[in-house]
Amino acid sequence: MNELTGKPVDRVDGKLKVTGAAKYSAEFDLKNLAHGAIVQSTIARGRISLIDTKTAEAQPGVLAVMTYKNSMSLHQLSAEGGGSPGSGKLGEKDLLPLQNERIFYDGQHIAVVIAETFEQAEHAAHLVRVEYQVEEPALEIEQQKEKAYKPEKGLGGTEVQVSRGDIVKGFADAATKIGETYSTPVYHHNPMEPHATIAEWNGDQLTIYDATQSVIGSRNAIAQMLGMLPDKVRLISYFLGGGFGCKGFTWAHSVLAPMAARQVGRPVKIVLNRMQMFTSNGRRSRTIQHVELGSGKEGKLTAILHASQVETSFVDEFIEPAGTATKLLYESPNVDVSHSIVRLNKGTPCPTRAPGEAPGTYAFEVALDELAVKLNMDPVQLRLANYAEKNPHDGHAWSSKYLRECYQRGAQAIGWSQRNPVPGAVKQGRYLVGYGMATAVYPGNRAAAAAKLRLYPDGRAVAACCTQDIGTGTYTILAQIAADALGLPIQQIEVKLGDTKLPKGPNSGGSQTAASAGPAVQEAALDAKSKLIKKALADKKSALFGQPEAAILVENGRLFVQNDPGKADTYTDILKRAGLPMMEGSADINVSTRETQGQEANPASKGSGGGGEEGKEQEGKADSNPFVKQDEEVDRKKYSFQSFGAQFVRVLVDADLGTVRVDKVASVMDIGKVLNLKTAENQVMGGAIFGIGMALMEQTVYDPNNGRVVTRDLADYLVPVNADMPSFTVEFINKPDPFISPIGARGVGEIGITGIAAAIANAVYNATGKRIRELPITPDKLL
């Protein structure tokens, strides 16, 4: 049988996207649709003393202007509902929109103008006059150091204060030591599609079209804020134009749309513009990381210290857990990882592609390179000397790990043997040539998920799960999985996602979608197939009558006896003889690997699932699907689930101009089984491009006087473009993880950005002899 899973199958939604038939959240043309334009604050701290809307209200087409003075009252999210995207996480839990006159950051939403057209709403929004009582804002980490505090936990219960052994003794025993401070700036996500929400009321029922990475979580959060039962709210998000974390939380605009729609009695659309994407819907925190390493003469680490200073807002607490991977990446008996945080008058940070690991591996892996230089040791050999055969933090065995092979294949792909350890020793014409490497790492997350699959007499199968495709290829890999489980061509598989009427699915964060929804779809498909096989085996009119179920194979919808292929039946004939309109299989899997990572289980397993006809689940009852039972019985608590990889780069540096060009990237990843080679390569390549931006150009700059974002469009906030692209080599170990799921796949969406900034920084040092410890590496720092 020709297995589809793992093959570079073209996206099943590709034609819809290139022809414009794929509807994104801003593209639903509802009858009598009105448009909302947001007015934002122009101070970073204080109070509104006057808000004059009369001129705006008098403009043609304006239906209403909504402010804190006339908006509906909202309900605070409960602690359970506000802790994780899976259960509903408001991005700023202490700043319910338009509830009072307080201002906590520049760009805070303070009014919504609702009008007949977008242009009328935008024009009137500029005519809202606001006066403020201004207070002195807190804008920089350095200014607030005396008010820093150490939080106990991060998002989802992540450990952020970790120690083992005796760190003082570890450094005392060290023959070689290094200690340096590294910093990363604020970064913004900048997906192609901006945030967008359409809300429509029908009596006490609310339908929302929202650009979200958490269909169920956003529905739950919005319902709570509006004081509604979740089953009164339907949220739809069929397609997403990227998110990278900023669409994982629920932000103010997503509840402002239903508030506005209620106020004017019509559907309302709110779409943020690019400048607004820099203010009120998340960012990556700036980090200041101090790393100290101690080792013996042969490079064995005796002590690791990683202390991170990060920032949050005055209206919520989000911690960028920069040291989260440090505790487990290498073997060392003495480790101290800490995080301190200060509150600033800026919008609240949130998860940004590989939160923690992306900035953390930059600091830690550059520090390792500095130690390798001091030891006169090859950087790859230093990492191999400290290779962790099991999780050094908790002693658990890895579910699977092939990092050594990643190093070997990555070094070969980049031409590591050509690297000269002497900085500046290799030239190519006018350019200095440098080689650098770093380790990539990201958790192997899996969360609770459910799915249903229906087989129809016409040969079609429809799989349904309330997760979302954020542009990564979820529709495609779930179709591949279902096709393989059923023995059908992929053209006969339809996948339904992005609707809270469907069975509960995971949010798209933590690289968990494929690892969670994939097994649910597979086990629902196997359930449907098994039910139909049993019908055929019990039917005297079937050629399969009386055969053992284990002897039946399926290919192209034809069921046959393994050792006697002439004895056969079809799904279509079995359903027709039984007089059935369809056969349904279901799976409701309560599995989470997060508990093994020192995190709380995904709240989606605690009754926050989908609803409606296709999503009703038997809460509290065990799933009768034997494939689910077998999956849930695996003892995962004794394993640590992590993906690993190796990032190698070659850079060319113009010594006269200080410009850096990444010439080649070789990424070798151990992510368990690859589900689709094409989309997996695309994800790793995209992550590496993110890392190029992180290392060389991206940074959000704030005006130090008023806290306003200065780099607030894609002309000033630089991201890599086609002209910046290096040659890419992306490879996978492609060995299934035997414990994470029956499929054996871990997520691939975020690991590609980890380690890449460090590899580039290390290559720049190899080329120039200049160690840049503050990103981005811009020409002024090299001249």
- CA torsion through residues 758, 398, 303, 183, sign: positive
Q: What is the pLDDT of residues 328-379, one digit of tens each?
A: 999 999 999 999 999 999 999 999 999 999 999 999 999 999 999 999 999 9
Q: What is the pLDDT of residue 623?
A: 74
pLDDT score for 622? 54
Closest CA to 65 of 107, 115, 106: 115
**Residue located via tokens 């101009």:** 657
CATH architecture of 449-639: 2-Layer Sandwich (3.30)
What pLDDT, on the 0 to 100 scale, is given for residue 596?
59
Coil/strand/helix, residue 50: strand
Q: How far apart are CA 674 and CA 744, in angstroms?
A: 9
Residue with tokens 């989260």: 324
Domain boundaries, the chain: 15-136+189-278, 356-363+373-444+641-783, 449-639
**pLDDT at site 594:** 81
Instruction: Give the full edge-to-edge strand order of the sheet including 449-455.
Output: 493-496, 461-464, 449-455, 583-589
For residue 609, name the pLDDT band (cuts at 50, 70, 90).
low
- Residue 601 pLDDT greater than 80, yes or no: no
pLDDT of residue 654: 98
Measured between alpha carbons, how far apart are the two ends of the chain, in Å? Answer: 60
Give residue-wise pLDDT tens across range 702-721.
999 999 999 999 999 999 99
One-character DSSP codes across 386-397: T--SB-TTT-PE
Query: How far is residue 389's CA from residue 396's CA, in Å, rounded to a whole number?
Result: 10
For the cut 60, the answer to whether the pLDDT of residue 28 exceeds it is yes
Between CA 38 and CA 35 the distance in angstroms is 10
Question: What is residue 82's predicted lDDT score, i.e. its pLDDT?
Answer: 47
Burial class of 439 by CB neighbour count within 10 A (0 to 12, 13 to 18, 19+):
buried
Residue at 675: amino acid letter: L
What residues have CB less than 8 Å from 20, skipping those under 6 apart? none
340 φ/ψ angles, rounded to the nearest 5 degrees: -120, 155
Element containing residue 293 per DSSP (H, E): strand 287-295
pLDDT tens column, 134-155: 999 999 999 999 999 999 999 9
Residues 6+ apart with CB under 8 A from 500: 215, 216, 219, 230, 233, 234, 235, 236, 466, 610, 611, 612, 615
Per-residue pLDDT at 608 exceeds 90: no
At 619 the pLDDT is 38
**CA-to-CA distance for 155 and 557, rounded, in angstroms?**
45
Mean pLDDT to the nearest integer, 439-468: 98
Average pLDDT, the chain: 95
By residue count, the chain amounts to 783
Q: What would the pLDDT profile of 496-533 be if each residue is shown by its tens digit?
A: 999 999 999 999 999 999 999 999 999 999 999 999 99
The average pLDDT across 687-706 equals 98
Residue 559 has pLDDT above 80, yes or no: yes
Task: Give the pLDDT of residue 776.
Answer: 98
Instruction: Decide if pLDDT at 71 tops 60.
Output: yes
> 356-363+373-444+641-783 in CATH: which number?
3.30.365.10
- pLDDT interval class at 410 (50, 70, 90): very high
For the ranges 43-57, 442-456, 546-560, 584-598, which has the lowest average pLDDT?
584-598
State the average pLDDT over residues 183-210. Answer: 98
pLDDT at 607: 41
Residue 48 confidence class, pLDDT cut points 50, 70, 90: very high
Pull the structure tokens for residue 34.
């009105």
687-712 burial, b for 16+ CB within 10 Å, e for fewer? bbbbbbbbbbbbbbebeeeebbbebb
Query: Bridge-partner residues for 102, per DSSP?
Result: 47
What secondary structure letter does DSSP report for 97? T
Question: Angle at Cα 499 formed by Cα 495 and Cα 505, nearest 5°?
Answer: 75
Percent of the chain topping pLDDT 70: 95
Q: Is the pLDDT confidence value at 226 over 90? A: yes
Cα angle vertex 234, ends 229, 235, to 5°?
A: 120
For the chain, what percentages of helix, strand and coil (3-state, to nearest 5) are there?
30, 25, 45
pLDDT band at 767 (very low <50, low <70, confident <90, very high): very high
DSSP 144: G
Question: In 3-state terms, what secondary structure has residue 328?
Answer: helix
Q: Which residues are catalytic?
A: 750
Average pLDDT over residues 445-466: 98
Q: What is the model's pLDDT at position 85? A: 65
Region 542-554: mean pLDDT is: 97
Angle at 279 between CA 276 and CA 282, to 5 degrees: 115
Q: How confident is the model at residue 602 (pLDDT cuts 50, 70, 90)?
A: low
pLDDT of residue 538 exceeding 70: yes
| 338 within 8 A of 116, measured Cβ to Cβ | no
Pairing state of beta strands 268-271 and 427-428? unpaired
Nearest Cα to Cα of residue 510 among 30, 40, 84, 191? 84
Tokens read off for 166: 């005796």
pLDDT in tens, 643-683: 999 999 999 999 999 999 999 999 999 999 999 999 999 99
- Asked if domains 356-363+373-444+641-783 and 449-639 share a fold, the reply is yes
pLDDT for 138: 98
Mean pLDDT, residues 748-765: 98
| 770-780 pLDDT per residue, tens | 999 999 999 99
- Edge-first strand listing for the sheet containing 129-134: 102-103, 46-52, 129-134
Q: How many CA atoms lie within 13 A of 265 on its CB side?
A: 0
CATH class held by domain 15-136+189-278? alpha beta
List all residues 6 or more positions away from 340 whose beta carbon is below 8 Å from its beta carbon. 148, 149, 150, 307, 308, 309, 310
